[in-house]
Amino acid sequence: MPVIAMMFGSFCHGEEVAGKVAAELEYSLLKDDFFFARAAGNFRMDEGKLRKAVTGKTSVFNQFTHERERALAYLKATLAESLTGDNLLLLGFLAHLIPPEISHVLKVCLIADIRRRVREARRVEGISEKDALKRIHKDDEGIVLWTEYLFQRKDPWAPDLYDILLPMGKDSVDRAAAVICENVRKQVLMVSDQSRRGVEDFILASRVNVKLAEEGHDVQVSARDGHVRVTINKKVLRLSALEEELKKLALSVPSVRSVETRVGAGYYQTDIYRKYEFDVPLPTKVLLVDDEREFVETLSERLRMREVSSAVAYNGREALDVVDADEPEVMVLDLKMPGIDGLEVLRKVRDEHPDVEVIVLTGHGSEEIRRICMEMGACAYLEKPVEMENLTAAMKEAYDRVKQRKARQR
């Protein structure tokens, strides 16, 4: 029997419809939670980080760490392996990862207009109209970010993303379930040798994708009958060397018969390809905080020359927002800034994000300030102007502490 991939908006009866369809067709119901848990277990990635990497806003550090791409590779591989089974109903947004070449998949979306969703939220949750609207917008935010990332589309409910779009304001739960069951039995959706090969191609492409992602590469992978195509969408200075490395890695995956590399449309944009190095002595998620723009941008460039990539914040408030959204490994922090000063940032970070190591770098220091900073939990205290060797040595020491802490937590 064909696979059903069902996407739904919150307060649109998605769980009820899926339950009825699964019972009627005697299908196994697999929710997104199943795939997140299995991917986290199979690939030893924290489930919370896996979810955040996929459904949240793209991390400011992602261009250096490729964490989102690795999370996506793990989920694709987990989803692909599940498609070897029959009689499956996949419930959630991860079904968007299924390629169109697998033709025995019926993609369904359940959605209602905002007024009906608000009424349903108020009925189910017992909340005010204002709170219901806020809840729905929050629920939709992650889905919008997801479809924007995958399809460059901000409308997750666009009809052309699905085979069937059912407006739940007009269709009852029973009627929606009946429509889905009726359509899934159509001959055009029956499993064929060709669609089975599509699953095998998806599995192979996923395995190659995981191999490349785990070696720090950010590329697109497709496969057909054992022949793999790797697409590079960011400009690279030594293209031929990268292509040779990608081919060698892909050919090491069982069942790969040949590998073709090509450049995609994104290759001609201004982004520069960066391979993520996993085993390095210096941190990869560094936040530089200083209100002197020219100084901090120059510092960022000088660190990049030493293979240390960093994000930049220009004031205390911006720094705290970045840390809340995308916790860095190491922060290099100025003290004298307008608004929230460096000492307050240090206090908040050590209280709320104790895993972040903070290096204080100030041009207005004293022995008393140094003592206060160290007592508050800074791992190093440096004064401007600073020699790059001294700064990178402090960063290495801070990163050693990060790695030791992570090792203890395993």
- Domain coordinates in residue numbering, the chain: 3-189, 193-268, 286-409
Average pLDDT, rounded, for the chain: 91
Query: How confident is the model over 198-222, as pLDDT tens digits?
Result: 999 999 999 999 999 999 898 999 9
The pLDDT score that the predictor gives to residue 64 is 75
pLDDT range class, residue 281, cuts 50, 70, 90: confident
Which tokens is 180 given? 């889905």
Cα separation, 311 vs 286, in Å, equals: 6
- Indicate the pTM of the whole model: 0.80
By C-alpha distance, which of 107, 98, 114 is closest to 160?
107
Which residues, including other chains, have CB under 8 Å from residue 109's CB and lie 6 or more apart?
6, 7, 8, 157, 159, 161, 162, 164, 165, 166
pLDDT range class, residue 42, cuts 50, 70, 90: very high
The pLDDT score that the predictor gives to residue 173 is 93
346 contacts 333 by C-beta, under 8 angstroms: yes
**Per CATH, domain 3-189 is 3.40.50.300:** yes
**Same CATH topology for 3-189 and 193-268?**
no
Cα separation, 96 vs 410, in Å, equals: 33
3-state secondary structure of 272: strand
Q: Tell me which fold the domain 193-268 belongs to.
A: Histidine-containing Protein; Chain: A; (3.30.1340)
| Of 171 and 284, more confident | 284
**Per CATH, domain 286-409 is 3.40.50.2300:** yes
Beta-bridge mates of residue 228: 223, 259
Query: How confident is the model over 119-147, as pLDDT tens digits?
Result: 999 999 999 999 999 999 999 998 998 99
Helix (H), strand (E), coil (C) string for 168-227: CCCCCHHHHHHHHHHHHCCHHHCCCHHHHHHHHHHHHHHHHHHHHHHCCCCCEEEEECCE
Query: How confident is the model over 284-331, as pLDDT tens digits?
Result: 889 999 999 999 999 998 888 777 878 999 999 999 999 998 899 999
The pLDDT score that the predictor gives to residue 264 is 83
